[in-house]
């Protein structure tokens, strides 16, 4: 049981990456960026990494706090314009896309538009960005939450921003997975050994199948060492609880 909330999220996002894929991380997606950089250094397979700033195979000298920081494209042999990676995704050329969310339901639909009613919201969110294009056209989409609560993992979204090929949701407590097909629901596949499926159900707003759920395998020494190097100052681990 060597997991922290931070390491559980980052490493399980990294474990979603497969050999020879073209993988993309979206706006303000620092944790998936860490996951992609970790996978490059730890796993014994090749994949292509593109980020939202257009960096192709970036090698940042430090991990930026913002996706508008020039460090995010450092070392890239090529730069993609926004319209190019949206076009690539729409043509089926992105295998795995990491996109964030404010709310998510059991069928993998996301809300990044408004909390409360659209006409009189409690919170007006930034909006979908590329989600409405990328979620239905990427071959697989994976999202994450740095908390695990029924406010974010909901039975019914306040607003449906996007839907489509969401295949996994990672939180500090759990990994949920679903088939990218209409009507398919998340099932619990892995959970943090510090908790139980029953405790997870109490903190989740939607119902889920846990019959095949297993306690997550321990993080490897290499995964933990590289993650510690990537977050040497501990800035990002503080954001996950």
Which class does domain 5-239 fall in? Answer: alpha beta
| CB crowding 138-166: b at 16 or more within 10 Å, else e | bbbbbbbbbebeeebbbeebbbebbbbbb
Across 105-219, the runs of DSSP E, i.e. the strands, are 110-111, 114-116, 121-124, 140-144, 166-170, 174-177, 187-191, 214-215
The confidence score (pLDDT) of residue 92 equals 94
Check pLDDT > 90 for residue 232.
Answer: no
Number of H-type helices and E-type strands within the chain: 6, 12
* Token representation of residue 68: 């508008």
Whole-number pLDDT of residue 241? 64
Query: Which sign does the torsion angle of CA 143, 147, 149, 152 carry?
Result: negative
> Which token pair is 37?
């950089």
Task: Say if residues 59 and 74 touch (Cβ distance below 8 Å).
Answer: yes
The residues facing 98 across adjacent strands are 25, 142
Name which of 34-38, 47-51, 55-59 the model is least confident about: 55-59
Q: Residue 182 above 70 pLDDT?
A: yes
pLDDT for 64 equals 78
Helices (H), 43-186: 82-90, 131-137
Q: What does the pLDDT read at residue 2?
A: 81
Q: What is the pLDDT of residues 97-149, one digit of tens each?
A: 999 999 999 999 999 999 999 999 999 988 887 888 999 999 999 999 999 99
CA dist 166 and 126 (Å) reads 20
pLDDT score for 129: 79
Structural contact between residues 13 and 31, judged by C-beta atoms closer than 8 angstroms: yes
Q: What is the pLDDT of residue 220?
A: 96
**pLDDT tens digit sequence for 184-204:** 999 999 999 999 999 999 999
Task: With cut-offs at 50, 70 and 90, classify the pLDDT of residue 3.
Answer: very high
> In residues, how long is the chain?
241
For the entire predicted model, the pTM comes to 0.94
pLDDT of residue 187: 98
Pair type for strands 187-191 and 174-177: antiparallel
pLDDT of 78: 85
């Amino acid at each position: 049981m060597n997991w922290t909330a931070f390491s559980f999220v980052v490493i399980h996002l990294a474990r979603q990456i497969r050999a020879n894929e073209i993988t993309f991380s979206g706006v303000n997606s620092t944790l998936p960026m860490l996951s992609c950089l970790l996978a490059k250094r730890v796993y014994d397979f090749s994949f292509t990494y593109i980020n939202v700033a257009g960096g192709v195979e970036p090698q940042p000298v430090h991990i930026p706090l913002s996706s508008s920081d020039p460090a995010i494209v450092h070392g890239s042999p090529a730069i993609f314009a926004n319209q190019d990676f949206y076009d690539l995704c729409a043509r089926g050329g992105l295998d795995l896309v990491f996109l964030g969310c404010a709310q998510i339901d059991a069928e993998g639909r996301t809300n990044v538009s408004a909390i409360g009613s659209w006409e009189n919201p409690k919170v007006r969110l930034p909006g979908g960005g590329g989600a409405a294009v990328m979620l239905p056209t990427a071959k697989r989409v994976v999202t994450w939450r740095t908390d695990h609560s029924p406010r974010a993992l909901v039975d019914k979204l306040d607003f449906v921003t996007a839907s489509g090929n969401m295949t996994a949701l990672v939180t500090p407590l759990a990994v949920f997975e679903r088939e990218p097909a209409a009507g398919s629901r998340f099932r619990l596949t892995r959970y943090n050994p510090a908790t139980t499926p029953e405790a997870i159900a109490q903190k989740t707003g939607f119902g889920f199948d846990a019959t095949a759920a297993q306690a997550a395998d321990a993080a490897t020494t290499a995964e933990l060492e590289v993650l510690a190097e990537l977050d040497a100052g501990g800035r990002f681990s503080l954001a996950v609880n």
